[in-house]
Amino acid sequence: MSAHTLQLMIVLTVLSFIGNNMNRPDKEKQHYYCEYCGKKFPDVRQLTSATCPRHPDGSNKGHHKLYEGSEKQEYTCKYCGKKFPSIQVMTGGQCVNHPKGTNKGPHAPAL
């Protein structure tokens, strides 16, 4: 094997290493949130199999519901437009524009 071939192989190895790192999905960073309570889960199965303390039918009367929007810096209530730093903070407050009536239910995150 010539020195040139060896050099080429090293370059290719380094390139494929960089490529693998760039294509690696960021699984650690992916989180799933409940739309009702804002609790964070590492996967959807865990989210939907646990009961939700802020379920609309009553505390722990149903399972968490997957929030299908993306992770954001700021979440906007789809009823009143108020902004919150997290779904957990948002759903802890009552919404003046709630469909059931003023302050008859919590804010809900827009997607």
Residues of this chain that bind Zn ion (CB under 5 A): 34, 36-37, 52, 64, 77, 79-80, 95, 107
**String of b and e for 90-100 (b: at least 16 CB within 10 Å)?**
bbeeebeebee
Collapsed DSSP state (helix, strand, coil) of residue 40: strand
CB of 26 to Zn ion, least distance (A): 24
**CB-nearer residue toward Zn ion: 19 or 81:** 81
CB of 12 to Zn ion, least distance (A): 49
**CB-nearer residue toward Zn ion: 7 or 61:** 61
Collapsed DSSP state (helix, strand, coil) of residue 64: coil
Place of tokens 């902004």: 83
CB of 43 to Zn ion, least distance (A): 15
Contact 87, 54 (CB under 8 A): no
**CB-nearer residue toward Zn ion: 7 or 59:** 59
